[in-house]
Amino acid sequence: MPLYRDDCASAKMRSSGSTCICARITSIQPTIVIEDKSGSCVLDTFPSDSIAEVGDLCYCFVRCGAEPLRCRRLTVIPPEMFPVALYQLELFRRNQNAMKP
């Protein structure tokens, strides 16, 4: 199964596979919502071993093709790591575009 890197908008458009999204948690109750500059995503639940709060930046490993997206793993990151996440997303997109015929 392919693994992608996405922002919230592009993750919602994937019909299959798994992706990693770096975004801020904006809501936990009644639904889990993450948000970045591209928009927001609703997640099914946090993994049972996750500790996160509204306002935290995190990497979310999600399974695509379901609504809401299925969050399989969540890792809270410090704000200083956000530029690294944006760079990783940019590199992934460049590589994907280079592989297109």
Per-residue CA distances from 33 to 2, 7, 88, 92 (Å)? 24, 13, 22, 24
Domains of the chain, CATH where assigned? 3-96 (2.40.50.140)
pLDDT for residue 45: 85
The 10 Å Cβ neighbour count of residue 74 is 22
pLDDT for residue 84: 92
pLDDT averaged per 10 residues in sequence order, the chain, 101 residues: 86 91 93 94 88 94 89 93 90 82 67
pLDDT for residue 22: 94
pLDDT for residue 97: 78
**pTM (2 decimals)?**
0.86
